[in-house]
Structure 1
Amino acid sequence: MNKKHLNVKLYFWLLFLISSLIFIFIPQIDLSIASIFYDGRSFPLNGSWIETILYHSVKPIIIFFALASFAIFIYNHIKKKNVFGINSKVLLYIILVLAIAPALIVNTTLKENWGRARPAQTIDFGGQKEFTPAFILSNQGGYSFSSGHTAAAFSLLGFALLARKRQKTFITLVLIYGTLVSLARMAAGGHFFSDVMTSFFIVWITTHILYKLIFKEDSIS
């Protein structure tokens, strides 16, 4: 099960497949988990200080890491140095990780076209739209599937995979941060559990495949 396919362990591919099938054929899981954050009238944590901080933290963190990487690359190029090992391949990897997983796959392809209503928009939670299972195209005009904030938060995995020392520590920190952002989005009624899980799997798989394609080797994780 530890064998890798495209730099992604076999068990991870299986987890993605099995979880996707569960979300499609047992959609009540989404409703049950969403109901944990619903008090019968609203999602009370929506707009709370912790939810607001986590929601608004994603964009500036991503921008900071992206700009810092670009600045270091320029510095290395001018000074003929190798600070943090950021060369043209590393910079290309970072750009593709941010552009493909959260931007192209999640936000442009899924979110803009799937039409799934957010939890707070559904009749089940005080809204006016119908609930539809994950992976099923909908005409609800919603942007729930899948979670852009979750994908962006977990895309920091791309930076963590570049670490040669304490890689597991950095990966763990990213997983914790991504999980907190995902919980915040669910608590606010912005996404179902399947939305955040799908984004997580997409980012994890994409970052590892890109690592293999660009560096011609498997990542340590």
Structure 2
Amino acid sequence: MKWRHPTALLRWAVCTLVALALFRLWPELDLGVSGAVFDADGPSRFPLGDTPPVRWVYLAVPWIGRFLLLASLVMLFRAHTPLRWRRRAQVLLLALVLGLWGVVNVGLKDHWGRPRPTEVSAFGGPHPFQSAGTVSPYCDRNCSFVSGHAATGFTLMAVGLLGTPATRRRWWRIGVVAGLLVGAGRVLQGGHFLSDIVLAGLVMHGVCLLIRAGWLRWRLRQRLVHARDRG
């Protein structure tokens, strides 16, 4: 079992810094995407966000997150859960608790203060636009940076973390597609900027890399201990 995650973590850090720099240097990316679905003259400022499919996804995602948490706990404590699914449950639970709840909701959304698109002056709100990653006083909690709904979708990439390379790639794609689809709905609703979605994915990917790195190190130590005991 080779230790390759420092390289993966370095690539993730570079991608995250590039994404942050891109959205900070060109705020037009955020304003342009949200502006494309904004209707200043209509009864709703973000009319596509009121369509039934978008509303259904918005309401369903938090319950999906709770279901994934409950399912993980059931598989962990169920006596006859196959080892493969027990491991999947372990990493999914860690991603939900450490990543979605700890880093995204408690760490970022409740402390960064970024106002949502509906709250900025460019789209009829009271506050000035804040670029991605900027700490501001315009929102107290549950703010725009980053998207919790999108992060819930991205969490699915954790399911394949301990599998073969093909399994990891498959679940990574599933998580990315789920996160982007959910995130697109939040952009249509005026609930998040494009950068909130992209960086939610990067945050959850980083959490997944750290979880896998920790598991690999633990497995390596276990093997060394067993080899020493046999010797």
Superposition TM-score tier, normalisation by shorter sequence: 0.7 to 0.9
Deviation at 1:28, TM superposition (A): 2.0
Distance 2:62 2:214 in 1: 27
Which consecutive residues of structure 1, in runs of 5 or more, have no partner in the other structure? none
In structure 1, the residue matched to 2:145 is: 145
In structure 1, the residue matched to 2:172 is: 171
Deviation at 1:57, TM superposition (A): 2.4
Structural mapping, 1:29-178, within 5 Å: 29-41=29-41, 42-76=45-79, 81-83=80-82, 85-87=84-86, 91-141=89-139, 143-164=143-164, 166-178=167-179
SS of corresponding position for 1:139: coil
One-letter amino acid matched to 1:212: A
Deviations 1:62-116 (A, max 9, x none): 222332232222223xxxx4525244x6544332211121111111121111111
Q: Which moved more, 1:157-166 or 1:192-201?
A: 157-166
Task: Please say if residues 16 and 202 of structure 2, whose CA atoms lie closer than 8 Å, have aligned partners that are also in contact.
Answer: yes
Which consecutive residues of structure 2, in runs of 5 or more, have no partner in the other structure? 221-231
Distance 1:156 1:7 in 2: 22
Q: Which has the larger radius of gyration?
A: 2
SS of corresponding position for 2:49: coil
Q: CA RMSD in A?
A: 2.4
Which protein has greater RCO, CA pairs closer than 8 Å, 6+ apart?
A: 1
SS of corresponding position for 1:178: helix
Deviation at 1:44, TM superposition (A): 0.6
Distance 1:212 1:122 in 2: 39
Distance 2:187 2:175 in 1: 18
Deviation at 1:185, TM superposition (A): 0.5
Change (3 A) 1:215 1:60: farther
One-letter amino acid matched to 1:129: H
Change (3 A) 1:7 1:55: farther
* Identical counterparts, % of pairs: 26
- When the two structures are superposed, what TM-score results if normalisation uses the length of structure 1? 0.85
Deviations 1:12-45 (A, max 9, x none): 3322111111112222221111111112241111
